[in-house]
Structure 1
C-alpha cells in the first residue's frame, strides 16, 4: 500500500507557501514613496512628519546601522477596490526568520496618530475596512535600521554593536510598498490549512489524522491555483467538518496571554528600547481593537513610564485598553530584574516602585511576579514576594536547563525562611509562542501535573521588537478553542489561571531553595566593572536615604522623595544589564551618579 501522507502534506505546504499566502495581498498598486534619512539620533514624531522629502524608489538600499529613516507613502485607492478591505503592505527588507533583531518601523497617519508597527511577521497597515474608491492615502513610517547582531550564527564578533564603531553602509533594501486588497477569504484559508497541517503532524496514524489528510486533499482539489481568491471559499468548505470536530472533554487547556518580551537592555541602546515598546504597544492596542477576546499582558513599569514620557499618544491608547480589561499590567516590578546579583533591598524596591506605578496609573496592583527570562532565581525571593503581597510566581527560563530537567510545572516554591509561593512554568518551554501545533502538543504531552491539573500558560507573540502577537496567532487561537486532537486554547488573565490551578492542586509538590539555571553560566561573573558600579549605586542610594531621613527628622530639611525615586528607578533598570550585557556589549550603558 502506498504511503500517501508525504504527498498530501508536501502538496499542502507548497500550495500554502507558494500560492495561497502570496494571494492574500495579490491585487495591489505601488504607493508613491519619499524619504528622509536622519544624520544622527532619532527625532520626535512631530519633527519627523515635518521633514523635507525627496523621491525614493522601492529597491533602493536604506538605513545605516542604528540610523532612522522616515518614509512618506502616498496614493489613491483605485475605484476597482470599492467594497473591499484595503491595506498598505510595507516590506522594508525583512528576514521573517529574525523578528525583533533587525529593522523595524512605526506607522503614523498625517495628523501624527500612531497606527501600528511594521515587522518581519507583520507587514500590513489598515487603510480602510470598506473602500469606496478614490480615497487619498498618506502614511509615514519611522523606520529604524537596527543592525542584525545575532544572525544565523549568533554571538560572533561584530563592529555593528555600537554606534561609535558601526559602519555607514546602508544595511537594508526595501522590497514592497503597495496599496493592496486584503483577500480575507484567502487569509482564512491559509490559517485553516496551517492549523490542520500542524495538528496532523502531531497525531498518531489513526482515524482523526486520516480524516484531516483527506480533507486537505479535498480542499486543494477544489482550489483553482489560477483563481485563488475566487475559489478559496469552496476550498474552505471542504475543511468545515474537520475544523468543527470538538476536543476531548479531558483535553489540556492552554491559557494564552498576548506577550512580547522586551529586554529593557540587551543588543540596542536604551533609546531603542523605548521605541520598541512604543511600536509593540501600538500594534497590540490595534489588535485589541480588531478582536473580541484577545488579551495582551505587559510587565515592567519602566516600559509604561517610557511611553508615557516619550509617546503620550500611544500611552493614551494603552490606558484605554487597560481600563477595558484587555491590556494587562503584569509582574508588579519596575523591570524584569535579575534576582541573583542585586541586593535584597534592591529587589524590594523593584516591587515597591513597580506596584506604586501601576496603582497610581491604573488603580491596579498585580497579584503575581512575572519573570520569564531571568537567569536563575535566588532562594530569598519567595520571602520577598510574599511580604510584598504577591500571590503567584511565573517563569519559563528553567526549562532551558542543559542537564537536569526541572520536575514540575505547577508547584510551591519554598524559600530559605520557609515562605512559599504558588508557581508555574509553561510546559511548552517558550515565552514566545506562536501557538504552533508542535508547541500545543508539547504543552499537553509534557505537563508534569496532568494527573490533577487541567492546563498551562502560553505567552504568545514575538518579542524584543518583533511586534508581539499577530492576527495569524489570534486566528490560530480561534481555531484551537475546541478542536479534536488538540489542547484547547483560550485567552485568559494569568490571575484566573492561577486561581483555577490552586483549586485543582490542593496539595501541590514543593521545591525548596534556589532555582538554578543550568545555562548562560558565567554571565554573573563577567563584566565586573559594570556590576561593581551597579552595586555601588545601590549602596550609595541607601546611604543617601539614611542621611536624608536623619536630616528631615532633626531639621527642617525637605526629604527629596521625587529625586530619590528617580535615582532608584535608574538603578533598578540596571539589573537587566547584570546578565544581558554579557551576551554582547550593550550600547548606551547606564551610569548612576550620586553626589
Structure 2
C-alpha cells in the first residue's frame, strides 16, 4: 500500500507539472508590445495612456527600481479561434513565489476603463468568451517595477529601500506577452486534481477515504492521453466525479472563507506605491466578483478606500457598485490597521472615529468588527475602545506567531482593563494569506482549539502583504471544498455573517483578561526613534490644538479649524500603521514619516498659537497656558494664568573631591559620582533611598543585537547575555545654570551627552539624554535600579494602565522580557513608590535581583530602551542625533505617575495677554483625566469632552462646563447618542460622574 501511494502521488505531481498545466493554454500567438518609461514618479492615468511608446521585445530587460512603465499590447484574435475562450497572458517577469513583493501592473482599456491587476499569481486578462475571431486587442498596462527589497538571503540589507541608493539598472525581464486559448476543461481538471491530491496528502495513511481518492486519481491519470490532454480531459474528469461528490461528514468543521488582501499601507514600499497596490487589487477583486457569484471580498483600512476615491476614481466607481451589491465589504472600521500598543488613548479612539465614519458616510455601513490580522499584539485598553466605537468583535491572526506559548483559544471573549469584553477570533488556519490549499484547510481543522464547543472558523483568503487578493483558482478550490468528504466545509461569507454564526454557536466562550502580548516583534517598540518621537509629539499637539481651538471658539467666536484638524488627524493615524510606527519599513517610508510629522508639528503649533492669541487678547500680563489635565504651577488644567512665584526651596549643587556632584533641593538629594552615574537618590521627606544598593542609576548599557530573523522587528532574549556598561566619562561638569550636572561619554563610533537636573521645589530628577548614534546591530538601554520590592508594576496604556509581573514564574511571564508603556511605569511597595516617565520612548524591561548589601529581599530594575541599529529593512536605522527626556519621581503614587506623564509631554506655553483664561471644562478629582476637549465634528458647535478614570479605582467627580449648557448626553466615540444610557445628573453646567476603574466616558454638551 505504501508503494502504491507514493507512486501515484509522484505520478500526479509530474503529470500535472509537465503535461496538464501546460495544456491549459494549448495555443498562443504573440502580441505586439511597446513601452513608455515614465520619468520620475508615477504619472496620472490619462498621461500614461496618451504617451507614445517605443518598441520592446519579450526577453528585454525593463524597469529601474521604483519606476513606472506603460506597456501597450496589441494584436488580433485568429479567425480559427472562433467559439473558444481567449485570454491575454501578460508576464512582466514575475517570480510566482513572491506575490506582493515584485513588479505589478494594472490593465486599462484605451478609454481608461480599468480591467484588472497583474501580479505573479494573476497574469491573465479575459479577451473573449467565446471569441468571434478577428477581434482587435489593445490593452495598456501601468507596470510598477518595484524592486525585491529582500537581500540574497532573507532579511539581508539591500540598497533598494531608498530611491537614492537603489540605482537605475533594469530589474525585470519581460517574459510573455501572448494571446492564448484557454481550455476550460483542462483548467477544471487541474483544480480537481490539485484539490484531491492535497486532500489525499492530509488524510491518515490508513484512512479508507484516502485510498478511495488515490484510486480515483489513478484512474483519471490512466484516462489522460498525454499526447492529447485537451481531448481526454473530460474523460479524466469523469473518473473523479464520484470522489468529488462524496459529502463531508455532519460533524465536519466549517470554514468561512473571506476574500482578502491584507495590504500593508507601507512596508517594503512607500505610501505612494500602496495607493497603486490598492487600485490593482481592488480592480482585480471587482472583476472576480462579476465572474464568481458566490465569492465575497472584504477590504479594511478606510485610508485605502479613500486613496481609491481620490487617486483612482475609475476603480472607485466599480468598487462602489460591488459594495452596493453587498459582496465587496468594508471591514474593520479603522483608518488603518494600526499598531495598537504605542498609539495614545485619543489616537487609538480616532482610528475608529475616522475609519467608521468614512464607511458610514460613503456606504452607510456600520462595522461590528475590528479587523487587525497582522498587528503586533494588542494593548489591554483596546476592548473598551472597540466597544465605545460601537463595535463588539475583533479578528486577528498574528498571535499565532508567538514563539514561546501557544495561545489556548481561537474563539474567546477578551476582557480589557475596565472589564469590557469583546468577542474575539483567531483563525486557526494561521495565515491571513490563505490560498485554499488542502494543507492549510487541514491545519485549520487540526489546530482549532475549541473543538467540542464550536466548529466554525474564518479563513482570510487571498494574497496579501503586498496585495493581489483572491484568485479564480482559490475560488474554484473553495467550490470543491464546499461539501467534500475528508475536508472541512468551506463557504464564502462576510465577516459579519461569520461572527453572527460563531457567536450564536458559542455564546459563552472562555475569557482572556488583559493584554494580548505577541511573543515576537518586541523590538518594534524601539526601532526608528524619530518616527516614534514624531508620533508622540503629534498626539500631544493635537490635544493642545483641539483644546485651545475649542476654548477660543466658545469664548471668542474664533473659527474652529474643522477641516485642518480632520486632515491632520488622518495624517497622524496613517503613520500609526503597523509597519510605520513600529519602525519596520524601508528608509523611504521613515524619511517621509519624519517629514510628515514635521509638517504636522508646524501646522498644529500655528493653530495653537492662533487660538491662544484669540484667548489671551491684547495686553502685557504674562500668562502660562496649561494644556495638561492637571493643575500645575498654580495654573488650572486647560486654563491660562500668570505664572506662580518660584519655589522658596532652590536647588544647591555641591562639587565633591574626585569629581562627584550633589544636587539637593530640600526634597531630594542626588549624588552623582565621577563617572556621571547616580549613586544615591534620597527622598528626604520619607528618609528613604530610591536606588538599589551598589547599583548606580542613569547607567547607559549597550548590548549586541542580531536577532535570529526579523532585524527591525525582533530582539531575542539572548541579547541580555552580553552587556557593556558605559561607565567611562569624557567629562562630568556642573551645568551652566549652577543647578545641574552635565556628562559626556564616548563609545564605539557614538557619543552621549546627558544633563541631570533637579527642579527647585519638585520631587523629580530630570534626565536629558542626547545620543549621536553611529552603531550597527547594537541596542542601547538606560537603567534605573530601584530599591523597591515589587511583584508587579504598572505600565500606562490607552485610558489607564496595565499591571505586569516582575517575576518569571512561568513561560508566559518570562516571554514578556520587553514590553510597551506609554508615558510612565510605576513600581511601589505599600506607602511608597517610584515612577519613571518619558517624553518619547515605549520599549522597556523590568527585572528583579537579590539585594547586594547582605539584607534579604529583592530590588527591581527598570531599563528604558533608547536606540537600536538593525540593518533590514533600513540599513541606516536610527543613525544620527536623538534626544530623550526621562524623569525619575521618588515617593510617587499612581496619581503622581499619571500627572508627571502628562507634564513631561505637554510643556507649558508662555505668552502675554489681557488676563487669565478660565478652563472650558474642569474636573474636581485628579483621578478623572480629561483626554479630549473639542467641538463636535458635525459642525453643530456642541462641545465634546472625553474623560476616563485613570488610577484604577472608583471615582466620583463633578465635571464643570465653563459655558452655558442647554443639555448634555453620553455619546459614543463617533459623538452619537448612546441608546439606553441615561443622561448624567446635571445642575446647570455641573455634571456628576460616577466611574468604574478605567471607565471611559464621552459627553456631548449642547451649548445654551
**TM-score normalised by the chain length of structure 1:** 0.98
CA contact (8 A) 1:441 1:487 kept: yes
The equivalences for 1:155-174 within 5 A come to: 155-174=155-174
- Is residue 271 from structure 1 mapped to residue 265 from structure 2 by the alignment? no
Q: Which runs of 5+ in 1 are unaligned?
A: none
Query: Deviation digits for residues 446-486 of structure 1, max 9, x if unmatched?
Result: 11111111210000000133410000000000000000000
- Is residue 109 from structure 1 mapped to residue 118 from structure 2 by the alignment? no
Q: Which runs of 5+ in 2 are unaligned?
A: 607-1008
Report the Cα distance in structure 1 between the residues aligned to 2:498 and 2:451, rounded to whole angstroms: 15
Q: Secondary structure at the match of 1:140?
A: strand
The equivalences for 1:103-502 within 5 A come to: 103-150=103-150, 153-204=153-204, 205-502=206-503
1:524 paired residue number: 525
Report the Cα distance in structure 2 between the residues aligned to 1:407 and 1:95, rounded to whole angstroms: 37
Report the Cα distance in structure 2 between the residues aligned to 1:586 and 1:422, rounded to whole angstroms: 38
Change (3 A) 1:306 1:131: same
Q: Secondary structure at the match of 2:140?
A: strand
CA contact (8 A) 2:413 2:424 kept: yes
Report the Cα distance in structure 2 between the residues aligned to 1:510 and 1:578, rounded to whole angstroms: 31
Query: Deviation digits for residues 117-152 of structure 1, max 9, x if unmatched?
Result: 111100000111210001110000111000001257
1:22 paired residue number: 22
Report the Cα distance in structure 2 between the residues aligned to 1:254 and 1:580, rounded to whole angstroms: 32
CA contact (8 A) 2:532 2:581 kept: no
2:587 paired residue number: 585
Report the Cα distance in structure 2 between the residues aligned to 1:240 and 1:117, rounded to whole angstroms: 34
Query: Deviation digits for residues 268-317 of structure 1, max 9, x if unmatched?
Result: 11110000000000000000000111000000000000010000010011
Query: Deviation digits for residues 71-118 of structure 1, max 9, x if unmatched?
Result: 000001101110111110011111110000010000000111010011
Report the Cα distance in structure 1 between the residues aligned to 2:389 and 2:53, rounded to whole angstroms: 53
Change (3 A) 1:185 1:76: same
User: Mean Cα displacement is larger for which, 21-30 or 573-582?
Assistant: 573-582
Change (3 A) 1:193 1:446: same
CA contact (8 A) 1:46 1:112 kept: yes
Report the Cα distance in structure 1 between the residues aligned to 2:534 and 2:515, rounded to whole angstroms: 25
Report the Cα distance in structure 2 between the residues aligned to 1:212 and 1:28, rounded to whole angstroms: 34
2:568 paired residue number: 567
Report the Cα distance in structure 1 between the residues aligned to 2:434 and 2:134, rounded to whole angstroms: 40
Q: Secondary structure at the match of 1:127?
A: strand
Change (3 A) 1:2 1:265: closer
CA contact (8 A) 1:276 1:464 kept: no
Q: CA deviation at 1:556?
A: 2.6
Query: Larger Cα Rg: Structure 1 or Structure 2?
Result: 2
Q: Secondary structure at the match of 2:399?
A: helix
1:67 paired residue number: 67
CA contact (8 A) 1:24 1:182 kept: yes
Report the Cα distance in structure 2 between the residues aligned to 1:212 and 1:149, rounded to whole angstroms: 42
Report the Cα distance in structure 1 between the residues aligned to 2:141 and 2:572, rounded to whole angstroms: 33
CA contact (8 A) 2:36 2:53 kept: yes
The structure that is strand-richer by fraction is 2
Q: CA deviation at 1:506?
A: 2.4
Report the Cα distance in structure 2 between the residues aligned to 1:23 and 1:581, rounded to whole angstroms: 47
Give me the CA root mean square deviation: 1.2
Q: CA deviation at 1:523?
A: 1.1
Q: CA deviation at 1:541?
A: 1.2
1:3 paired residue number: 3
The structure that is helix-richer by fraction is 1
CA contact (8 A) 2:105 2:143 kept: yes
Report the Cα distance in structure 2 between the residues aligned to 1:398 and 1:119, rounded to whole angstroms: 29
Aligned length: 595
Report the Cα distance in structure 2 between the residues aligned to 1:584 and 1:170, rounded to whole angstroms: 20
Q: Secondary structure at the match of 2:29?
A: strand
Report the Cα distance in structure 1 between the residues aligned to 2:156 and 2:499, rounded to whole angstroms: 41
Q: CA deviation at 1:527?
A: 1.0
Report the Cα distance in structure 2 between the residues aligned to 1:114 and 1:583, rounded to whole angstroms: 30
CA contact (8 A) 2:150 2:158 kept: no
Report the Cα distance in structure 2 between the residues aligned to 1:521 and 1:258, rounded to whole angstroms: 30
User: Mean Cα displacement is larger for which, 353-362 or 580-589?
Assistant: 580-589
Report the Cα distance in structure 2 between the residues aligned to 1:123 and 1:507, rounded to whole angstroms: 46
Report the Cα distance in structure 1 between the residues aligned to 2:89 and 2:559, rounded to whole angstroms: 56
Report the Cα distance in structure 1 between the residues aligned to 2:581 and 2:241, rounded to whole angstroms: 49
CA contact (8 A) 1:280 1:465 kept: no
2:77 paired residue number: 77
Report the Cα distance in structure 2 between the residues aligned to 1:264 and 1:378, rounded to whole angstroms: 21
Q: CA deviation at 1:266?
A: 0.7
CA contact (8 A) 1:267 1:586 kept: no
Change (3 A) 1:580 1:528: closer
Q: CA deviation at 1:174?
A: 1.1
Q: Following superposition, which runs of at least 4 residues in structure 1 exceed 4 angstroms of deviation?
A: 577-580
User: Mean Cα displacement is larger for which, 535-544 or 271-280?
Assistant: 535-544
User: Mean Cα displacement is larger for which, 326-335 or 218-227?
Assistant: 218-227
Q: CA deviation at 1:579?
A: 4.9
Report the Cα distance in structure 1 between the residues aligned to 2:369 and 2:385, rounded to whole angstroms: 12
Q: Secondary structure at the match of 1:3?
A: helix
**TM-score normalised by the chain length of structure 2:** 0.58
Report the Cα distance in structure 1 between the residues aligned to 2:179 and 2:272, rounded to whole angstroms: 31
Change (3 A) 1:2 1:355: closer
Report the Cα distance in structure 1 between the residues aligned to 2:17 and 2:475, rounded to whole angstroms: 20
CA contact (8 A) 2:150 2:157 kept: no
Q: Secondary structure at the match of 1:265?
A: coil
Report the Cα distance in structure 1 between the residues aligned to 2:377 and 2:453, rounded to whole angstroms: 27
2:57 paired residue number: 57
Report the Cα distance in structure 2 between the residues aligned to 1:175 and 1:151, rounded to whole angstroms: 23
Q: Secondary structure at the match of 2:126?
A: strand
Report the Cα distance in structure 1 between the residues aligned to 2:401 and 2:86, rounded to whole angstroms: 43
Report the Cα distance in structure 2 between the residues aligned to 1:502 and 1:110, rounded to whole angstroms: 49
